[in-house]
Amino acid sequence: MNEEQLKQIKADKVVDARGTACPGPLLAAKKAIGLIEQGQIMEILSSDEGTKRDVPKWAKKKGYEYLGTIEENGYFRIFLRK
């Protein structure tokens, strides 16, 4: 998805892991993914640059669909569909 499409997304669950360092955001994402249904969208907020590479790998392993990342001022918005 391109950035315009990503910006339109209204996530079913937003996980705010800003401020936590590796592996905090991944841990937060793992804990939250159980709270949404298959097909729903989760948005992870992280200020840790590594997360934007970690999440797609995690998604691939688990069979979730990685939708893309928007870079905001000082943090990242990472989207995936369960």
Give the Cβ contact number of residue 32 at 10 Å: 17
| CA 28 – CA 13 distance, rounded (Å) | 12
Closest CA to 42 of 72, 68, 79, 1: 79
Residue with Cβ nearer another protein (7 or 57): 57
* Residues from 41 through 60 that contact another protein (CB under 8 A): 54, 57-58
Residue selected from 19, 49, 53, 72 as contacting another protein according to rule CB under 8 A? 19
Q: How far apart, in whole angstroms, are the C-alpha atoms of residue 19 and residue 79?
A: 18
Which residues, numbered 59-78, are part of the site for another protein (CB under 8 A)?
61-62
Q: Of 14, 22, 27, 35, which one is the catalytic site residue?
A: 22
Q: Which residues bind another protein (CB under 8 A)?
A: 19-24, 26-27, 29-30, 54, 57-58, 61-62
